[in-house]
Chain A
Amino acid sequence: MMPIGHYLFLSLALFLIGTIGVITRRNVIIVLMSIELILNAVNINLVAFSRIFGDVAGQVFALFIIADAAAEAAVGLGIIIAFFRNRETILADEMDLLKW
C-alpha cells in the first residue's frame, strides 16, 4: 500500500482531465465518456480509503457508483440516439432548442 496521498492525487488528476473534457469537447458522446472518467476517479478515492481504514463500506459505495454509471450511460445514450434521429447532430453547441 502506497501512502494515501498518491491515490488522492491520481484520482484528482483523472477528475481534472474529465472536467476539462466535459467543458471543452463538442461531441456529446465524448462528454458522456468524460463523465464516466470522473465517476471512475471518485471510485479510486473510495477504494483507497476503504483499504486504509479497513472498512468495507467504501467498496460497497464504489459498487453503487458503478451501477449508477451504468444507468446514467444507458439513459444518456438513449437521449443521444433520440436527439440524433430528430436533429441529425451530436455536437453540444448545436443543441440549442431551449436557448432563448
Chain B
Amino acid sequence: MLDSIIFYFFASVAILSAALMVTRRNAIHSAIFLITTLLATAGIFLQLRAEFIFIAQIILYVGGIMVLFVFVIMLVRLDVALHQIQFAKQKWVSLIVALVLFMQVTVMLWASRRLPGAGLPEAAPVDKLQPNSEALAHSLFGAYLLPFEIASVLLLVAMVGAVVMAKKRTEPK
C-alpha cells in the first residue's frame, strides 16, 4: 500500500515535470523542471532499493550535469530566442513517431505474455541485493572491471574534447 503510494507520487511528479520541461519557453524553467524529473526518478530508484544509484543520480545528474547546463544557458544569450517560435514545424511528425513507439512497446509487452516461460516474473526477495553499495562494488570491480576502465578513458576523452571545443581560438603568429 505504502509502496504504491510512493511509486505513484514520484511517477506523477516525474511525468508532469517532464511534460512541463518540454513545453516551457524559457530554457532556465526547462532546466528546473528537468531537475525535478531527475529527483523524482531518484525517488523511484530508492523505492526499488537501489540506494547507490539513488545517491549517484542526485550527486552526478542534479549536482553535476544540471549545473553545467545552467551555466551554459546563462553563458549563451537567450533573450532573442525567447521571442521567437519555440517549436519547429515537425509537431505532427513527432506525435506520429511517439504514437508508433507507444504502440510498438505496448504490443510487444502484450505479446510477450504468450511466450512459453516468459511473462513477468515475480520479484526477487528484498534482501538479495543488500547491502547495495557492497554488491555493486563486487560486481563493478570484479566482472565489469574492463568496462569500468573504458568508462574512465571515455570521461577523460570527453573532458579534453569539451575543453578544446569551448576554448577561445587564438590565431597563430
Chain B residue at minimal CB-CB distance from A19 = B98
Least distance between A15 CB and chain B CB atoms (Å): 7
List A residues 50-98 near B (Cβ within 8 Å).
50-54, 56-57, 59-60, 62-64, 66-75, 77-82, 84-85, 89-93
Q: A10-B44, A14-B37, A77-B68 are in contact. Are A1 and B123 (CB under 8 A)?
A: yes
Chain A residue at minimal CB-CB distance from B25 = A27
CA distance in complex: A19, B72 (Å): 22
Partner pick for A70 among B15, B64, B73, B98, CB 8 A cutoff: B64
Is B129 a contact of A54 with CB atoms below 8 Å?
Answer: yes
**Interface range for A:** 35 or more
Q: How many residues of B contact A (CB 8 A)?
A: 85
Query: What are 7 contact pairs spanning A and B, CB under 8 A?
Result: A17-B21, A19-B97, A23-B94, A53-B121, A63-B52, A63-B56, A78-B162
Least distance between A69 CB and chain B CB atoms (Å): 6
Q: Residues of A with Cβ closer than 8 Å to B?
A: 1-8, 10, 12-21, 23-27, 29-30, 32-34, 36-37, 40, 43-44, 47-48, 50-54, 56-57, 59-60, 62-64, 66-75, 77-82, 84-85, 89-93
Most buried by A among B30, B143, B158, B159: B158
B21-39 vs A, CB cutoff 8 Å, 1 = contact: the mask equals: 1100001001100100110
Main secondary structure of the interface of A (DSSP, over half): helix
Least distance between B31 CB and chain A CB atoms (Å): 7
Least distance between A30 CB and chain B CB atoms (Å): 5
Partner pick for A3 among B41, B120, B124, CB 8 A cutoff: B120
CA distance in complex: A81, B85 (Å): 21
Least distance between B139 CB and chain A CB atoms (Å): 5
Chain B residue at minimal CB-CB distance from A2 = B7
